Every structure is written in structure tokens, then in C-alpha cells.
Amino acid sequence: MKKFNLIIAAAIGIFLFSCSQVPLTGRSQLSLVDDAALQNEAANAYNQFLSDPSTKVISRGTDAQRVSTVGNKLASAINRYMQANGFGDKYNYKYQFTLVESKDINAWCMPGGKVAIYSGILPVTQNEAGLATVMGHEIAHAIAQHAAERYSQMTLAQAGGGILGAAVGGASQGTQQVIGQLYGIGGQLALLKYSRNQESEADRLGLIFMAMAGYNPDGAVTFWERMAAAKSSTGAQPEFLSSHPSDETRIAAIRKLLPEARQYYTGAKLK
């Protein structure tokens, strides 16, 4: 019993020591992963994905240019805000934006700002505002460090007392497992399933990010309405929506978040 109590006490101490806050939302989260090492592993996995023979990268044309334009606007705005508001270099990501030929309605962003947009989602995004909605949301997952949080939660739940060694002595050693377990690198990319709370947080941050970049956040509502219509017409659940709230719930929540995001669009909350 005494040993058990010591393990519990130590685990609680690590939990408190390893808590961080999500930028802008201020939510406390558990993080037992070395962020720099995680970003490095994500970059390696991203390059592996792009070099896979089954991945067809679209590097030229109007669509590829639009992905690059919107992505760079978002990256520039986010980096400026983070630097101006005392976040230092922690979120100064080396962004990459790649358009991939695929019928899938999907998009994702790995830790450190490694973004992939599938061409199947472009008929739904339609314009820069729609694309900024998608990309802002996916970048928000990276800024909020949702992948590291999910891995930390999984590790804590699975390892119990054994978490002490991983948290204290091997934080950086676990980064390959983060990518391997959460993103399933190797052959097909099995994308991370975020929690509903993380998806909602990414919606909130995504609205703010697109507003920072000069895109009217009201455009997010029309995008999600188009996404709901696309889902209804095909009868299939796009991968992009696999762990997301229902259409009605999401759109209603986004409408409530718009007043906050509009303040960044007008510059009222920007330095």
C-alpha cells in the first residue's frame, strides 16, 4: 500500500509538472512528450508520406497555388501573433502545405505545421475562405498540441505506475510512438482521431486563425453547411468528419463563436 501511494503521489506530481496551457483558449492540458522531438518525427513522417509512390502531389495549377496562398497567409498571421504575444519560438513552425490528389474529402496537419489537403475537399471549400476554414481548423490541432495530449492520455491510461519512467526519463524517446500510434505511418496514413472536445477547440481556434489571416470567419458557417450537404448527397461519412460533432451541433456552436473571431478579423484583438 505504501509503495502504491508513493506511485500515485509521484504520478500526480508529474501530472501537475507536465501541464501546459493551450494558446488563446487557456485550457490546461497534459503533455508528457518533448515537443521539439515530436515535431522532428512528424517532419520525417510527412516526408515519408509525400515520397510514398501512392501519394500523388499536385504542385502546379490554380488549386495548388490557392492552397499555398491560403496556407502562407495563415502561417504568417499565426506566427506574427504568437511572437507579439510572448509565446516565443515554441509556435514558430516550419509550415509546409501540400495538395494531394485524392477523391477523399479530407485534410490534416501534423505537429509542427505539416499540412496536407486532399483534392476531394476542394469542391466543398470552393474559395479561399472555405479553404481557410479547413486549414485553420487543422493548424489549430497542431497549435493546441492535440496529438501530444492524446498520446499523453493514452500513455497515462495504459502504463499506470510505469508512466514514471516514460515521463521522467524518456519523454523524447516516445515521439516515434506518438507518430506511429496516432498517425499510423507506413503504407496508408491512418489519421489521428481527436476527441470531441479537441475538435470543438480546433473549431474555435480555427475561426480565430482565419480571421487573423484576413478571412471573414462568417465564411466558416457556409463552408460547414456545404460540408453537411455533401455528406447528405453521398450518404457517406467523409474522413474529415469522422470524429467531429454533428453538423447541426457544430454549426450552432460556430455561430456562437463568431463574435469572438470577428474581433480578430477587425483587428480589435490583434497587436
Catalytic residues: 138
Helices (H), 122-183: 122-125, 128-143, 146-159, 163-169, 175-183
Q: For residues 30 and 21, give the distance between their C-alpha atoms in angstroms, rounded to a whole number.
A: 9
Residue 118, C-alpha cell as written in the block: 486532399
Strand order in the sheet with 57-58: 57-58, 96-100, 114-118, 107-110
Q: Give one word for 61, left, alpha or beta, with left for phi > 0 and alpha for psi -120 to 50.
A: left
Contacts of 15 (CB under 8 A, 6+ apart): 30, 156
**Closest by CA position to 153, among listed 124, 125, 174:** 174
Residue 132, C-alpha cell as written in the block: 481557410
What is the Cβ-side half-sphere exposure of residue 15, based on CA atoms within 13 angstroms? Answer: 12
Residue 218, C-alpha cell as written in the block: 462568417
Contacts of 264 (CB under 8 A, 6+ apart): 208, 211, 212, 217, 270
